[in-house]
Structure 1
């Protein structure tokens, strides 16, 4: 690589990283970390477990983000020195090492840049994810369960805690639906582009004739509600049912009717929770899910009204977004961004960052064009 070309690329990376540092406000981040450390050191904090966990998660996230940016800055500074050394010594091995690090650093800076694109009102929230089996019978139920595993594995790879609120198992295999929360800052901003229908094409393991089957599962992603959110819910508009928690094959999990299902009659939204032993706890969790879904519905209605006033059509992400083809060839392709992966096994094991980052950029472009 020519010296001038490398210097230009280093300048470009420096400019990009400087912009990222400005958007993230590192000084403000350090200030927040200091305040959170003081708060976490207060023994009284742990009298409120929910608040304590939120503080520690936020502290861990900010510390990780700050370390990530600082590490990239140090790598960029070291890389400039490495190139200078290679040119001065005319050392081909050192130059090769520097060029390899340049490519790796560029990729890592681009990944961090995606974080600065998440500036929506609720993007910083944790994410509430619901997956429903759609057309395809038992294959669709099995597909819904594979998607659940894919997102839980993705969260695990990133060190994001998750909590499954409810899972409704299908009779033969797989699940009818599941709801879980990803407890990490910006989880909603990261995953909201996954909202929509996911299509699987494969040889059905449930077809004794070995025929190809197409099945569908729908993904719904909404931000977790916070105390500042105001959603009026009239208790008289709710139907609350209690039932016994069940596992795969319909087997009983609890011996008491602790699971709770809440139907919001005006909207038809149905939510349920069975992960807690206590009916009271399950009801509280189910109400949180209902509030999150009503908040998202309210946000969508407001966005549609604004678009109507502007005289523009709204952008919908609730359609088919991605194909996962396992037969006759193997490929995963996003229909919006065009991103492809030739290893579906890795994707289904949680390696979806390339898709997620591309759709965040795509959504930002769509939103900019609509404003």
Structure 2
């Protein structure tokens, strides 16, 4: 790479980094960190474990954000020195090292730039993920389970904690539905582009004639409800059923009726939770999911009104991604055209490329 090209590239990287720093508002982040550090140091912090967890989690996240920005700025500044050194020494190895670092910095900058695009009302929230098997019989149930694993592996790769609220197992294989939470700041904004119908094409392992099967699974992403949200639920409009929790194959998980199913009668929304041993805890978790669904319903109604005023329909298509395992290997996003030729890596949680492309696509649709 010519010296003049490198100089222009580094100027461009520095300019992009400056824009990111302005959007992140590092001075405000540092001020927020100072406040949170003071709260975290309070002797009474753990008197309220849930509040303490939120404070320490937010503090950790903001510290990581600032550290990431400062580190990336330092790497951009160091690149100029590294290329100058390579030129002075006329050393191919040092030049190769500098070019590899330049590629790495470009990728890190792209990832950080995507984070600045998450500016929606609920984007900074944790995420509730609902997955359900749709058309395709046992293959759809198996596909839904594979999608659950994909998102849980993605969270694991990033060090995000998760909690499965409820899983309804299918009779032959896979799952009918599942609900779990991803506990990380901006999880909702990041994962919300995954909402829609996912399609799998493969030779069915459940077909004794080895025929190709197309199956579908639906993914719903909701922001976790916080105390500041106004979601009023009239207890008289709820039907609460308790039952015995069960696992794969119907084996008993509990010996008491601790699982809870709540039906919101006016809307017909049904939620359930069975991960806790206490009926009270399961009901509290189920109520959180119901509140999130009602909040999302409220948002969709408001969005529909806005779309009607703008005389335009939703820009979201229902079917959003295809996973093809036969006759060729490919995963393709139908909105962004982003595709990967290794479905197994995607199903193993490597979905960052799809998330970044989806977030950029969504931002373009809003213009």
TM-score band w.r.t. shorter chain: over 0.9
Q: Distance in 2 between matches of 1:15 and 1:268?
A: 52
Partner of 1:277: 277
Shift of 1:315: 2.2
Shift of 1:148: 0.3
Q: Distance in 2 between matches of 1:315 and 1:269?
A: 25
Residues 211-244 of structure 1, C-alpha deviation per residue, up to 9 Å, x if partnerless? 1111110000010000110011111111111110
Shift of 1:90: 2.9
Residues 1-21 of structure 1, C-alpha deviation per residue, up to 9 Å, x if partnerless? 111111111011001111111
Q: Distance in 1 between matches of 2:358 and 2:260?
A: 35
Q: Distance in 2 between matches of 1:109 and 1:129?
A: 28
Shift of 1:43: 2.6
Shift of 1:96: 2.1
Q: Distance in 2 between matches of 1:139 and 1:345?
A: 17
Shift of 1:311: 2.2
Query: How do 1:262-301 residues align onto structure 2 when only pairs under 5 Å count?
Result: 262-301=262-301
TM normalised by structure 1 equals 0.97
Shift of 1:93: 2.5
Partner of 1:68: 68
Query: How do 1:47-66 residues align onto structure 2 when only pairs under 5 Å count?
Result: 47-66=47-66
Moved over 3 A (4+): none
Shift of 1:88: 2.8
Secondary structure at the aligned position of 1:276 is classed as coil
Q: Distance in 1 between matches of 2:216 and 2:54?
A: 35
Query: How do 1:67-86 residues align onto structure 2 when only pairs under 5 Å count?
Result: 67-86=67-86
Q: Distance in 1 between matches of 2:311 and 2:344?
A: 44
Shift of 1:39: 1.3
Partner of 2:102: 102
Query: How do 1:1-371 residues align onto structure 2 when only pairs under 5 Å count?
Result: 1-317=1-317, 319-368=318-367
Residues 42-87 of structure 1, C-alpha deviation per residue, up to 9 Å, x if partnerless? 2312111111111111111111111111111111111111112222
Of the structure 1 ranges 307-316 and 233-242, higher mean CA displacement relative to structure 2 is found in 307-316
Secondary structure at the aligned position of 2:80 is classed as helix
Shift of 1:28: 1.2
Secondary structure at the aligned position of 2:154 is classed as helix
Q: Distance in 1 between matches of 2:66 and 2:167?
A: 36
Q: Distance in 1 between matches of 2:120 and 2:52?
A: 26
Q: Where in structure 2 are there 5+ consecutive unaligned residues?
A: none
Q: Distance in 2 between matches of 1:63 and 1:203?
A: 47
Q: CA RMSD in A?
A: 1.0
Q: Distance in 2 between matches of 1:326 and 1:136?
A: 15
TM normalised by structure 2 equals 0.98
Q: Distance in 1 between matches of 2:360 and 2:127?
A: 19
Q: Where in structure 1 are there 5+ consecutive unaligned residues?
A: none
Shift of 1:95: 1.9
Q: Distance in 1 between matches of 2:345 and 2:185?
A: 25
Residues 144-163 of structure 1, C-alpha deviation per residue, up to 9 Å, x if partnerless? 00000000000000011100
